[in-house]
Structure 1
Amino acid sequence: MAAPLEQRIRLPQLRLLVAIAETGSVQRAAEALHVTQPAATKMLRLLEAVVGDALVQRGSSGSFLTPLGEILVKRARLVLAELRNAEEELGLWHAGAAGHVTIGSLPVATPMLVPAALRQMELAAPLVSATVIEGSSDAMFRELKAGTLDLLVGRFYSGQDADLSTETLYESVFRLGVRAGHPLAGRTRLDWEEVLAYPWILPPGGVRTRPALDDMFKRARVRTPDVRVETASWLVMRSLMLSSDVICPMPVEVFLQDAKLGLARLLPFELDLKLPPVGVVWLTQHAPSPAARVFIEQLRAVSLRAV
């Protein structure tokens, strides 16, 4: 029993057959492929022996394909086209324009930064796919060090962990946000007593901004707000903020879209918060993959417009 064609036909033979069909001459096909005519003729004879019949006939005006040759050349063109596509995709992968990246996202990055970078990446490298995992700082750092994540986007101090490489993206300012119809929304000046008269939503203890907020209250020598809900989920915060009179301390860039739509307002009240900048981290011992590097490039571009 003869072996399958895929084991007996060689790519140079398929290239030769396509070249003969395009040039109408074995000699010109040989020249196009940079081989001698005797070598091309031998290659053609071996291919004809594999398929069991003539593929090319010679006439007064040159060479042309037999009906069997026409059948095979059609498939040969498809095979060669697929290989060119594969070559392109492999090149894109090595250049970081294809592949997969698993992204960890902390609350500061989830509403705006990561989605914006993903949209940019879809345009710049449509062959790159991504998985985004949300969670608290502690949980996400565990996932990163376990190798589950390629990188993590959030708030970090550079050099805080020898196992991690950190790139700062931008400094983020916290403000107090409320729904557009909130009783304080139209004020031009506010003090602690007035903003503490309403319930707040704060992140839970596992989120790194919570200790900074607690320290801020202590430095200001004011009581802790009436906290009705603790959550790290921007979706929960946003829903409660837009449907009640709660006050949400959040990064300015997180509020921008709702503010532009007239749904939310930033209160004229400065927060003396000491927070690390927004950045991206990855394991030092594992350099970012090509796909991860593409995403980091988009993070840099988006960060220039973040605030």
Structure 2
Amino acid sequence: MTPRELPRLLDGRMKFRHLVLLDAISRRGTIVGAAAELHVTQPVATRGLRELEEILEVELFQRGPRGLTPTVYGEAFTEHARAILAQARQAARHVVELAGAERGTVVVGTHLFGSNVLLPRAIAALKAERPNLTVAVRDGTPESLLVELSAGRLDLIVGRLTQISDEGFLRRKLYDESVVLVVRASHPLAAAKTVDLATVAGYPWILPGPETALRRELEELFHSNDVLLPANRVEATSFLTVRQLLRDTDVVAALPRLITEEDPGIARLPLSLEPIGHSVGITMPAAGTPTPSASALIDKLVAEAVQVTRRFSPAS
């Protein structure tokens, strides 16, 4: 058997629109959803996918009643397509920033860990020096933010550093942070000297979504202590939602320690969650170099992390 020839990807047939379409279909799961996102008609999107499959000479998606499922070829080529799009977006923004001197934009993704203390302080410090630089903050789950980062729609992610098997990301640790159980200051358990997990489980809880690492760790904590996961619960990762529910009701929540440091309306419970803990840091694409705006924010994040660690360390 003779080796299969490589597809001729540089003969002019494959366009950037094909890569953009592939990314949209992969995220949306349907031609209809991808077409709506890209503001094209369904026949145009269908034809674009067919053209790309003809160029690559493989089937990228399996068609089913519930939408499209990527084949092994689709998964592999989508990863490369996103890397190409990410580099193109970064190159365009780099040129714009060089032409605009102090102007520019940095897009940062964040989730519960790092979003309440570190990131706001870093943004404030950056804006004090470069007021015309735009910082766009995108909230999401760690998993969804990684997809956005790989596609070039984010410059970096600030938050918990999870174990990433994909070598396409670089992680920079800034500090370690513990997780604590908290309630409102007027909660029946707020003044308790000691509490156990079974007692705390009898109250309503706010839990992170099942797709998060913290949720899996909490489930393991309950399981190892032979305590059922609270049936009366809300699942939320938005700090504004969590904070308001904490202030208004008798819910219990597991939150990063720094979030509770400067809020007198929230009290910690005397129940250790060790070994649950995490490192807070920056996640970036491994390929390419950060734009000038992204580099400026990274510098501030590193500097503010030092100050946060000093101010809120347990010994201080």
- Could you state the TM-score of these two structures normalised by the residue count of structure 2? 0.63
RMSD: 2.1
From 138, 141, 145, the equivalent of 1:140 is 145
Query: Contact 1:202/1:227 (CA < 8 Å) preserved in 2?
Result: no
**Deviation for aligned residue 1:98:** 4.4
DSSP-derived class of the 1:277 partner: strand
Query: Following TM superposition, by how much is the alpha carbon of 1:133 offset from its aligned partner in structure 2, in angstroms?
Result: 0.5
| Deviation string, structure 1 residues 229-251 (Cα, Å, up to 9, x no partner) | 10111111111110011001000
Verify the 8 A CA contact 1:108 1:155 in the aligned structure 2. Answer: yes
- Structure 2 runs not aligned, ≥5 long: 1-96
What is the letter of the counterpart of residue 302 of structure 1?
Answer: E
Matches within 5 A, 1:92-111: 93=101, 98-111=103-116
| 1:186 matched residue in structure 2 | 191
Task: Name the residue aligned to 2:19.
Answer: none
- Name the amino acid aligned to 1:231: A
Which whole-Å CA distance do the structure 2 matches of 1:252 and 1:295 have between them? 24
Over 3 Å counting, the alpha-carbon distance change for 1:287 and 1:184 in structure 2 is same
Counterpart pick for 1:301 among 292, 297, 303 = 303
1:280 partner SS? strand
Q: 1:127 aligns with which of 132, 137, 140?
A: 132
CA-to-partner distance for each residue in 1:220-274, whole Å, 9 max, x for gaps?
232212342101111111111100110010001111221xxx2111111110244
Higher Rg of the two aligned structures: 1
Per the alignment, residue 114 of structure 1 pairs with 119
Q: Which one-letter code corresponds to 2:280 in the other structure?
A: V
- Separation (CA, whole Å) in 2 of partners of 1:149 and 1:213: 29
1:207 CA drift (Å): 2.4
Q: Note if contact 1:199-1:228 (Cα within 8 Å) is conserved in structure 2.
A: yes
Q: Cα gap change, 1:219/1:184 in structure 2, threshold over 3 Å: closer, same or farther? A: same
The 10-residue stretch of structure 1 (272-281 or 293-302) with the greater mean CA deviation from structure 2: 272-281
**Counterpart-to-counterpart distance in 1, 2:290 and 2:223:** 40
Q: How far apart in 1 are the matches of 2:138 and 2:289?
A: 20
Report the TM-score when normalising by structure 1: 0.65
The one-character-per-residue Cα deviations of 1:12-57 (angstroms, maximum 9, x if unpaired) are xxxxxxxxxxxxxxxxxxxxxxxxxxxxxxxxxxxxxxxxxxxxxx
Give the 3 Å change call, closer, same or farther, for CA 166–158 of structure 1 in structure 2.
farther
Distance 1:211 1:273 in 2: 13
How many equivalent pairs are there? Answer: 213
Return the letter of the residue paired with 1:164: F
Q: Which amino acid aligns with 1:148?
A: R
- Per-residue CA deviations over 1:169-213 (Å, capped at 9, x if unaligned) read 111100011111011111122112221221110011122311111
- Structure 1: gaps spanning 5 or more residues: 1-88
Partner of 1:22: none
Query: Is residue 224 of structure 1 aligned with residue 229 of structure 2?
Result: yes
